[in-house]
Structure 1
Amino acid sequence: MSITQRVLYKLTVLLILPCYTTIVRAQPTRSSNGMVVCAYPDAAQAGLDVLKKGGNAVDAAVAVQFALAVTHPQAGNIGGGGFMVYRPAKGTPNTLDFREKAPANASADMYLDANGNVIPNMSLYTHQASGVPGSVDGMVAAHKKYGKLKWDALVQPAINLALNGFKITKRLAADMNRNALVFRRLNPGKNYLLKEGGWKEGDVLVQADLGKTLVLIRDKGRDGFYKGTTADLMIAEMKAGKGLFTKADLDNYHSVWRKPVTGNYKNYKIITMPPPSSGGIALLQLLKSVEPYPLHRYGFNSDSTVQLITEAERRVYADRSKYLGDPDFYKVPTDSLLRPGYITSRMQTFNWNAATPSASIQPGTFIGYESDQTTHYSIVDKYGNAVSITTTLNDSFGSKIFVGGAGFLLNNEMDDFSSKPGVPNMYGLVGGKANSIQPGKRMLSSMTPTIVEENGKLFMIVGTPGGSTIITSVFQTILNVIEFDKDIQQAVSARRFHHQWLPDEVVTEADALSDATKITLQKKGYSIRSTGAIGRVDAILKTKTGYEGGADPRGDDTAMGY
């Protein structure tokens, strides 16, 4: 299979999260106090209960994170990592980077054979695919800085769900059944997420080993994961599968507080994640690229809207391939990439009469330059504090390898590095030196947790899973509200499309574009391919009377408020 064929295949698989018929949710969930929107109803309930007990948005985020590790094993995790954007009701916004890191034993060519070619699936479904996990450290750090309620009370709901079990949905049953064969193949002697005869809706899933691990985290905090019994089990698993991270890697892992990247779109302020997320910079570039154009007049998903957005996306993703990486290892030219004159210059080659071939688009140049399966949750409390968190194992169920005795999945985030310059990762994204593998380095991400202000006041909390489509899904959801006058549920449910420079095609959800729009675009040279569901956006909109929650009908996502 050629590289192009492999990328197309993986995009087809990965854009479907999975491919179920979209259920239209006509109305947003409304509340006057707090709101939680996340990927699974039991996790949303855990967060809402914390808010009702007087906890703040960060307290609720901790409860949701651990509950999702139990109820949404496709992406909820303690063995992965993520990003948090926090906007207090009073004070300065902040972001927390709890992205995984490459082990100290990692190297730039670790996934290449003797001929310098990428070894298929080595960065995906092996023990060597796992970066050092960051989620537990991230939750500990967030709670220490901003939490209000006691730590043990926030972890306990997840323990209850793991040890007592919870009723699974039709979608979760199907996902576990679909992966049963690979679970068995990659986990000899283990029986996690497996059921004789297969799972069905309404079955109760009990996870005893995961519950024991969560008890240690409840009682010992960070040390309950990065030291002691759980650390021993992780290292034993690494040794059994020739994995790379060690106890020293676990000891040395620490999440990092970073200054948000911010920008404006009309009278809205965008507060979003800096590198090693590529999402924040890319989102701001996209918004500024389309700002001069009358999108409201063009209309939702019209041929002009789709063409303009596609051309902006192809240029932004080209920049992403060269300039974005871990800022602790690489000088990311953030100011240059976000300079209005630079963004304007990138759009000057846009021609309404014809598509700009991606082959003719290269990363931009400027003076002074020195040479992703995921889940999202949005929370706001009665005080007005807002949290936007995207967290991931990378692929659905991560590497699909469990830590024996501890009951949780290992990530396969190492695939988010550039295994070889110019060779696509599982999402079809290409990269170079900026995102090369180095010991202790954080891999580049597309996660784009975002908070929007209007005239200095909280306006919107938004984010999504979806690999390379995360950035464009957040971008389109924001435009759906601001430019196309949709309420938050309509904005989240609306059909989406995506372009990422390479491969050179517009990928659309079913019925996202009318036949007439497709014909118009194809005549201009655009290649259009239909796929399954793109993204699972969970968002909250501030209203005059309170909050509206939009939960994506593409998944089991749930909005709860009070």
Structure 2
Amino acid sequence: MKLLFCSFFVGLGVISAAAQETGFAKFAAATVHPLATDAATAAYARGGNAVDAAIAAALTLGVVDGHNSGIGGGCFIVIRAADGTLTAIDGREMAPAKAHRDMYLKEGKVDDEASKTGALASGIPGALRAYDLALKKHGQLTLADLLRPAADLAEKGFPIDAVYARKLAATAKKLRLFPASAAIFLKADGTPLKEGDLLVQKDLAQTYRAVADHGLTWFYGGEFAQQTATWMAENGGIISAADFANYRALEREPIRSTYRGYELVCMPPPSSGGVHVAQILNVLEHFPLRHFRASSRIHVVTEAMKLAFADRAHWLGDPDFASVPKGLVDKTYAAELAKKIDLDHVTAVPAHNTPPRWEGDIFGKHTTHLSTADAKGNWVALNQTINTAFGSKVVVPGTGVLLNDEMDDFAVQPGVPNAFKLIGAEANAIAPGKRPLSSMSPTLVFKDGQPLLTVGAAGGPTIITQTLLLISHVIDDGQGPNAALAEPRFHHQWNPDTLKIETQFGAGTLRRVQALGHTLDETSAFGACQAVMWDAERKLLVPAHDPRIPGKASGL
């Protein structure tokens, strides 16, 4: 095999230092919606820190970006506190006690729509428990402090943007199936709200205030849980009030890895994101990426993605139920995988590989991302989701809460693709109380022991690849976060065997990549990534939001 070098990374934009991007001295935040970024800033200004700001943004996104996330879903949070403490909080949804591996089989065939829409699609939401745990460990404000401003916004209403309107139009047919959902998101004649229309969510406002007034027990086992259980019993669901009462957010040991002298702190399983961001970067350390021409760099990174996603399909699941090998992020294993990459042509990856010590050394038992940081040293990467657009499409009557469809993130049957065409094995099979595998990849990057970058993304399995591409552009190319987010991106998840790639790369590069043996799935844009980076030279926090979508990066 031969190496193809160029003196610079051809066709991928001008390398920009963070010093050329707007920074803030005290605090910075980046989210997918201006109102959420404003909520984060307001929380900080009221005496909060980056943790409080992140939770304020998350709760606000549940109002203004509810098709992606909300308190009817779950989240992962990675925190570096001002005292240097690292915390990884698992607020992932949990399968109900009556769930079982064959619950979507009907007459021997998989009913894959039942895991996406309706009463059987939802896991037990974990977001509120996770928010509360994060605030109690590292915040300055209370959950009630942050719920009330979001409730006011839900009651007052806001004009929906183009993204919300597009998602609503695409989902309207399914939302019509559920009267409580239709009453909120559709007009009286059944047509969806359009861009600029005011979305008012009075029931959601009331729910937020009830949690603020009565505490989490109102939601987990109290009135909300009872209302949900009643609706489920009447509509063929299996969730009970006891399922809510039994839910706990968990603290897990974060994954620690390195890349070219930088340290990564990532979310562990049931996130597959942290494992595979680290694994892919471990493989890429064996290649001088910044000196490759564009097509060669795309090829090498794609081959590393394929190897990691093949491992994901076999090994990854909830570590409380499945043995997930720590060897997946082992440097020696990465070196073995790197040797499998042919720089001149695509290499077939027929199945997973086997990491070292796989039998004994294991991890202890549609989406949005936001990043916040403050000058005192609190850094937060928070991913939250209800899975596909508008989750299960079910709003529990009288509550305004959209329930997730995270049961589809299990392998509904081993080998059967989910909504994102991902397949899983026994490690991610359905079981009572189990948490489904996720691609969410909240990540913190450090240099010389000090926080440098908080990053994560939205977009199903592309979350993993968006996150690692941004990290590579910052570390390999010396770019600031806004310049890195403007770079075209690509994604391969092993199955299906196609390379999703943005046309911004240009026709010449796309032809060269295709000539290496890749089957291209060309697209104008995909994903949504957010970041905050520390500019040591200016001593400023530099926030960045993805230019592909509406959003806001700001600070104080």
User: Is the TM value for this pair above 0.5?
Assistant: yes
Q: Which amino acid aligns with 1:318?
A: A
Give the whole-Å Cα distance in 1 for the aligned partners of 2:508 and 2:199: 47
Contact 2:369-2:381 at 8 Å conserved across structures: yes
- Find the counterpart in structure 2 of residue 342 from structure 1: 333
Moved more, 342-351 or 406-415: 342-351
- Find the counterpart in structure 1 of residue 41 from structure 2: 48
Give the whole-Å Cα distance in 2 for the aligned partners of 1:331 and 1:554: 38
How far residue 532 of structure 1 moved from its aligned partner, in angstroms, is: 4.5
Give the whole-Å Cα distance in 2 for the aligned partners of 1:466 and 1:364: 28
Give the whole-Å Cα distance in 1 for the aligned partners of 2:357 and 2:137: 39
How far residue 177 of structure 1 moved from its aligned partner, in angstroms, is: 3.2
Does 2:139 match 1:154?
no
**Please, which of 403, 425, 429 is the counterpart of residue 432 of structure 1?**
425
How far residue 520 of structure 1 moved from its aligned partner, in angstroms, is: 2.2
- Find the counterpart in structure 1 of residue 322 from structure 2: 330
- Find the counterpart in structure 2 of residue 503 from structure 1: 496
Q: Alpha-carbon deviations, 1:18-70, whole Å to 9, x = none?
A: xxxxxxxx984421110111111111111100111220111112211211111
Give the whole-Å Cα distance in 1 for the aligned partners of 2:475 and 2:218: 44
Q: Alpha-carbon deviations, 1:259-283, whole Å to 9, x = none?
A: 1001010111000100000111101
- Find the counterpart in structure 1 of residue 204 from structure 2: 210
Moved more, 474-483 or 344-353: 344-353
Give the whole-Å Cα distance in 1 for the aligned partners of 2:446 and 2:181: 51
Task: Please report the TM-score for the alignment, with normalisation by the length of structure 2.
Answer: 0.92
Call closer, same or farther: CA 1:436–1:529 in 2, change over 3 Å: same
- Find the counterpart in structure 2 of residue 407 from structure 1: 400
- Find the counterpart in structure 2 of residue 352 from structure 1: 343
- Find the counterpart in structure 2 of residue 250 from structure 1: 244
Q: Which amino acid aligns with 1:455?
A: D
Give the whole-Å Cα distance in 1 for the aligned partners of 2:404 and 2:369: 16
Call closer, same or farther: CA 1:27–1:104 in 2, change over 3 Å: farther
Q: Alpha-carbon deviations, 1:109-135, whole Å to 9, x = none?
A: 1112222x3213111012101001101
How far residue 193 of structure 1 moved from its aligned partner, in angstroms, is: 1.4
- Find the counterpart in structure 2 of residue 476 from structure 1: 469
Does 2:509 match 1:526?
no
**Please, which of 410, 413, 427 is the counterpart of residue 417 of structure 1?**
410
How far residue 82 of structure 1 moved from its aligned partner, in angstroms, is: 1.1
Task: Please report the TM-score for the alignment, with normalisation by the length of structure 1.
Answer: 0.91
Call closer, same or farther: CA 1:35–1:102 in 2, change over 3 Å: same
Q: Which amino acid aligns with 2:353?
A: P
Contact 1:322-1:363 at 8 Å conserved across structures: no
Contact 1:29-1:561 at 8 Å conserved across structures: no
Moved more, 289-298 or 140-149: 140-149
Q: Which amino acid aligns with 2:352?
A: Q
- Find the counterpart in structure 2 of residue 177 from structure 1: 169
Give the whole-Å Cα distance in 1 for the aligned partners of 2:181 and 2:529: 37
Contact 2:499-2:521 at 8 Å conserved across structures: yes
Q: Secondary structure at the match of 2:147?
A: helix
Q: Secondary structure at the match of 1:160?
A: helix
Does 2:113 match 1:121?
yes
Contact 2:299-2:516 at 8 Å conserved across structures: no
Q: Secondary structure at the match of 1:549?
A: strand
Give the whole-Å Cα distance in 1 for the aligned partners of 2:221 and 2:118: 23
- Find the counterpart in structure 2 of residue 61 from structure 1: 54
Does 2:259 match 1:268?
no
Q: Which segments of 5 or more consecutive residues in structure 1 lack a partner in the other structure? A: 1-25
Q: Alpha-carbon deviations, 1:325-364, whole Å to 9, x = none?
A: 1111112111x112211111122221122211233x4333
Give the whole-Å Cα distance in 2 for the aligned partners of 1:54 and 1:189: 36
Call closer, same or farther: CA 1:384–1:91 in 2, change over 3 Å: closer
Instruction: Number of aligned residue pairs: give it.
Output: 530
**Please, which of 515, 519, 526 is the counterpart of residue 507 of structure 2?**
515
Does 2:234 match 1:240?
yes
Q: Secondary structure at the match of 1:285?
A: helix
- Find the counterpart in structure 2 of residue 99 from structure 1: 92
Q: Secondary structure at the match of 2:522?
A: strand
Q: Which amino acid aligns with 1:362?
A: H
Q: Secondary structure at the match of 2:177?
A: helix
Q: Secondary structure at the match of 1:270?
A: strand
Contact 1:389-1:449 at 8 Å conserved across structures: yes
Give the whole-Å Cα distance in 2 for the aligned partners of 1:256 and 1:455: 29
Call closer, same or farther: CA 1:292–1:109 in 2, change over 3 Å: same
- Find the counterpart in structure 2 of residue 137 from structure 1: 129
Call closer, same or farther: CA 1:533–1:453 in 2, change over 3 Å: same
- Find the counterpart in structure 2 of residue 291 from structure 1: 285
Q: Secondary structure at the match of 1:101?
A: coil
Q: Secondary structure at the match of 2:242?
A: helix
Q: Secondary structure at the match of 1:461?
A: strand
- Find the counterpart in structure 2 of residue 561 from structure 1: 555
**Please, which of 67, 84, 97 is the counterpart of residue 74 of structure 1?**
67
Give the whole-Å Cα distance in 2 for the aligned partners of 1:553 and 1:188: 34
Give the whole-Å Cα distance in 2 for the aligned partners of 1:306 and 1:218: 48
Contact 2:457-2:466 at 8 Å conserved across structures: yes
Q: Secondary structure at the match of 2:176?
A: helix
Does 2:354 match 1:364?
yes
Contact 1:473-1:534 at 8 Å conserved across structures: no
- Find the counterpart in structure 2 of residue 229 from structure 1: 223
Give the whole-Å Cα distance in 2 for the aligned partners of 1:150 and 1:474: 30
How far residue 368 of structure 1 moved from its aligned partner, in angstroms, is: 4.8
Call closer, same or farther: CA 1:304–1:244 in 2, change over 3 Å: same
Does 2:543 match 1:549?
yes
**Please, which of 436, 440, 446 is the counterpart of residue 447 of structure 1?**
440
Give the whole-Å Cα distance in 2 for the aligned partners of 1:206 and 1:189: 13
Does 2:451 match 1:458?
yes
How far residue 73 of structure 1 moved from its aligned partner, in angstroms, is: 0.9
Q: Which amino acid aligns with 2:148?
A: Q
**Please, which of 464, 471, 481 is the counterpart of residue 488 of structure 1?**
481
Q: Alpha-carbon deviations, 1:524-553, whole Å to 9, x = none?
A: 211111125321001001013211111112
Call closer, same or farther: CA 1:271–1:355 in 2, change over 3 Å: same
Give the whole-Å Cα distance in 1 for the aligned partners of 2:458 and 2:443: 13
Contact 2:328-2:355 at 8 Å conserved across structures: no
Q: Which runs of 4+ in 1 moved over 6 A?
A: none
Contact 2:95-2:434 at 8 Å conserved across structures: yes
Equivalent runs, 1:21-40 vs 2, <5 Å: 28-40=21-33
Contact 1:218-1:224 at 8 Å conserved across structures: no
Quote the RMSD (CA, aligned, Å): 1.8
**Percent pairwise identity:** 38
Give the whole-Å Cα distance in 1 for the aligned partners of 2:63 and 2:20: 28
Contact 1:27-1:489 at 8 Å conserved across structures: no
How far residue 517 of structure 1 moved from its aligned partner, in angstroms, is: 2.2
